[in-house]
Amino acid sequence: MALNLPAAPQGKQTLTVEYGDATLKTYTYRPDGEIKGILLDLHGASRNAEGARDAAIDMADDYGLYVVSPLFDEANFSSADYQRGGLTDSRGNLLPEDEWTISLADDIAEWAHAKVGNPSGIETIAFGHSGGGQFMSRLAAYGPDEMFDKIIVANPSTHVRASLDEEVGYGFDGFGTDSEAEAALRDYLADPVTIYLGSEDNDPDAADLATGSAAMRQGDTRLERGEFVYEEAKDLAEENGWEFNWELVVADGVSHSARQLFNAQKWQEAFDGWAGQGSSSGSQSQSQPDPNDTPTSQPHSGGTTHDFNSVDEWDGAVISDYEDGDVFDFRDIDAQSVEQGDQDFDLLGFVGSDAFTQDGAEIRLRHADGDTYVYLNTDDDTGYEAKGVIEGTQDLTADNFLL
């Protein structure tokens, strides 16, 4: 049952919140206007939750994200409890799931949704930088992570490898029985994980860089470790024919800084790519259209016309029955919501996220994770207002759109 809490006011707040058995000082930020998503934003080893929240504010304004940054203080959460998720005791024995620190993530996300009125159809993103990135890697690997549409693992010192030989905390050896460990590994590979790295986070002597044997088996630097872990996971999934929904995004010129990652051009690529296909990790992003104003699909001589009449209808839409020759009719969508009159969309094609301009009335296409994404820019910023997915890698052209 959804929580019923007082609404978060616009701007910053500092609160003391009970999440299950834990009481955490929590720093939040609510931008002005419509809330389009929740960002659980975790701090690094310096335990500066306020700074983590503040680093995300400009980006949150652009994306319409409610930011929640809880403090995992050193007095109550050791590095094993925080960075490595609180999975094991001092002897390395796996603890019961309800004692894991990562188990608090769903509680925090549920609380955040309640603070913005439990809206349907908004995305829930988990982001952690440095020590927080280590936490997010454990959350993605071992769960529970059902609340999150995407987990962004940013510049961590260590990751969880896609390995049945590496011990739990860094892999899946000892994570239950052999069959349970393999099932957890396969779930990890199928989760919507983005490893987000700075190209300049490449100092082997960096402060706070883990140098234990398990860490060094991943590489010499944070950049090298992230690339290695991604490629190892991708190769394993391909060898076994397993589902793989990870992305690797490297921001050029960015060092060990969450603020730089949020403000980098590559942020939109790291943030995008998961429109919610109804899987266990994507259920939150399904939009709920008005039952009296639903899109329709009408057959025609060249295929089916998928008719959408508003931005809200397209945002979160999943087209699972696309066939060659199908057409998407966006003519009734207001292509430029801040200008009077009727403007037509401009189809930019398969281009990067930086192709959108402040002119609006633009559509860009993207292939990711084996699917095809269609983004609509309908106002005077350079972000998107709606994102839908067409299952499968489809070679769409202007012939597939009525604009």
Residues of the chain with pLDDT under 50: 1, 273-294, 301
Cα dihedral: 232, 236, 242, 244 (round 10) = 10
- Supply the range of the domain harboring residue 300: 292-402
Instruction: Judge if 277 and 331 occupy the same domain.
Output: no
Q: Does residue 6 form part of some domain?
A: no
CA distance 125 to 315: 16
Among the candidates 284, 308, 343, a domain finishes at 284
CA distance 165 to 160: 12
Instruction: Judge if 180 and 90 occupy the same domain.
Output: yes
Instruction: Judge if 315 and 168 occupy the same domain.
Output: no
Provide the CATH number for the domain around residue 179: 3.40.50.1820
Among the candidates 251, 284, 317, a domain finishes at 284
| Domain count across the chain | 2
Instruction: Judge if 362 and 252 occupy the same domain.
Output: no
Instruction: Judge if 255 and 331 occupy the same domain.
Output: no
Instruction: Judge if 226 and 246 occupy the same domain.
Output: yes
Instruction: Judge if 42 and 141 occupy the same domain.
Output: yes
Instruction: Judge if 296 and 267 occupy the same domain.
Output: no
Among the candidates 221, 254, 284, a domain finishes at 284
* Predicted TM-score (pTM) of this structure: 0.69
Q: At what angle do helices 178-190 and 222-240 cross, to 10 degrees?
A: 110
Instruction: Judge if 278 and 337 occupy the same domain.
Output: no
Provide the CATH number for the domain around residue 313: 2.150.10.10
Q: Does residue 249 form part of some domain?
A: yes
Do 240 and 184 touch, CB atoms closer than 8 A? no
Q: Which residues pair with 364 in a beta bridge?
A: 349, 375
Predicted local distance difference test score (pLDDT) of residue 259: 95
Q: Cα separations (Å) of 158 from 99, 153, 256?
A: 22, 10, 14
Q: Does residue 5 form part of some domain?
A: no
Is the Cα torsion angle 107, 81, 50, 206 positive or negative in sign? negative
Q: Does residue 3 form part of some domain?
A: no
Instruction: Judge if 26 and 81 occupy the same domain.
Output: yes
Q: Does residue 178 form part of some domain?
A: yes
Q: Does residue 62 form part of some domain?
A: yes
Strands (E), 301-353: 303-307, 318-319, 327-329, 346-350
174 burial level (CB within 10 Å; 0-12, 13-18, 19+): middle
**Strands 346-350, 11-19: parallel, antiparallel or unpaired by DSSP?**
unpaired
Instruction: Judge if 181 and 304 occupy the same domain.
Output: no
Instruction: Please name the residues in contact with 324: beta carbons below 8 A apart, sequence gap of 6 or more.
Output: 303
Nearest Cα to Cα of residue 124 among 283, 4, 244, 13: 283
Q: Does residue 55 form part of some domain?
A: yes
Do 361 and 343 touch, CB atoms closer than 8 A? yes
Q: Does residue 191 form part of some domain?
A: yes
Instruction: Judge if 201 and 308 occupy the same domain.
Output: no
